[in-house]
Amino acid sequence: MTFPFTIKNDFQYEVVGLIYEGGMGVVYEAQQQGARGFQKRVAIKVVRDKYTKQKDFIENFIGEAKLVADLIHTNIVQTYHFGEAKGIWFITMELIRGVNLEQFTHRLHASKTVLPVHLAVFIVSRIARGLAYAHSKSAHDGKPLGIVHRDVSPKNIMIAFEGDVKLTDFGIAKARGFLKDQEGEVVAGKADYMSPEQADFQVTDKRSDLFSAGIVLAQLLLGRNIFNADNPEESRRRVLRMSIPDFTKTTPVLEPRLNQILQKALARKLEDRYQTAEELLYDLEFFIYHRGYGPTNETLGKFVRHLFEQDHTTPAADPSRGGTILLSSASQSTNSTRM
């Protein structure tokens, strides 16, 4: 499909800009229109035309929508609606006015700005909060869903200009009864943010996400991803075999307690790694709050706004590009961003 475009049916969304283009889908900013002048800005994740005829892909897209519909947490992007109209499959989600962590780190580098340690730890602690919630989520029958995100990486971590940190994109997550899973046959995720078990085509559990969170924390503290290489195969090799350094020696200003947290998060042996996101969250929050007052959403928001020299009202999309999407209420199946 091209942008702008229109589908005429019951639900009306006026597209006001493009947020993100991925290989398999596009995310737009849109204004939802309702009765008596009701309006709400949302993000709409739309499947690209060439994938709409691929049954397995659409089944996983539907599974993702159903999975995230009940993930209601301040550190996870919220899903509002899922549907299909005239061959277009879409998920309507919470619109985050802000940037993803990849854009954030690029701006830090470009502006030669040093991220304060307490803010780096705060960001990852919020991700740990979101993971703790997702990992413990149960189905309506009370049985654990066994959710593993499998793609905890900077592109999937949003920071709002108000300072909220949110995990997004459960498109390759695994969970009982929702998404088709080919672990052991294919490898899913970004190579330089994988856990060793991911990189080795093994079955993963929630501890895999904690290794990935450890990579993100190390990157924020060191200014680089220690596993990043020129190609995915070399990145995977580093994840599997590269020695994890004593970070107090490579980065002398790093406090020993943070080195201990990183060593535990990046432990290759599962029994040596953090066993739950709650354990990681406790250590991160104790580090930043044990002396008393520590960072808050407001503290982070002020830093992000200053870094990008704009406030939280700045549009996330280009308002000069527009269109109208009208989506059928008959196709609605659930009540969370990116592809």
Using one digit for the tens of pLDDT, what is the confidence trace for 32-71?
877 777 888 999 988 887 888 788 778 878 877 887 888 9
pLDDT at residue 315 in the model: 43
Q: What is the mean pLDDT of residues 140-161?
A: 90
253 CB contacts (<8 Å, ≥6 apart)? none
Give me 248's structure tokens: 């107090």
3-state secondary structure 212-270: HHHHHHHHHHHCCCCCCCCCHHHHHHHHHHCCCCCHHHHCCCCCHHHHHHHHHHCCCCH
For helices 101-110 and 297-308, angle between their N-to-C axes, nearest 10 degrees: 50
Is 251 a residue whose pLDDT tops 60?
Answer: yes
What pairing do the DSSP bridges indicate for beta strands 11-21 and 25-33?
A: antiparallel
Domains and CATH numbers, the chain: 11-96+315-329 (3.30.200.20), 98-306 (1.10.510.10)
User: 279-312 pLDDT, tens per residue?
Assistant: 999 999 999 999 889 999 999 999 999 999 854 4
Choose from 136-145, 161-170, 183-192, 311-320 the range with maximum mean pLDDT: 161-170
pLDDT at residue 312 in the model: 44
pLDDT at residue 328 in the model: 41
Is 320 a residue whose pLDDT tops 50?
Answer: no
pLDDT at residue 4 in the model: 55
Is 88 a residue whose pLDDT tops 90?
Answer: no
Q: What is the mean pLDDT of residues 258-267?
A: 98
Confidence label for 335 from pLDDT (cuts 50, 70 and 90) = very low
Q: Which residues pair with 26 in a beta bridge?
A: 21, 46
Is 135 a residue whose pLDDT tops 70?
Answer: yes
- Nearest C-alpha neighbor of 217 from the set 158, 156, 189, 258: 258
Is 227 a residue whose pLDDT tops 70?
Answer: yes
21 against 209, higher pLDDT? 209
184 against 51, higher pLDDT? 51
Give the CA dihedral 297, 154, 173, 315, nearest 10 degrees.
60
The structure's pTM equals: 0.86
Is 336 a residue whose pLDDT tops 60?
Answer: no
pLDDT at residue 2 in the model: 55
Selecting among 49, 151, 209, 230, the annotated active-site residue is 151
pLDDT at residue 22 in the model: 74
User: 168-177 pLDDT, tens per residue?
Assistant: 887 667 666 5
Mean pLDDT of the chain: 84
- 151 catalytically annotated: yes
pLDDT at residue 142 in the model: 83
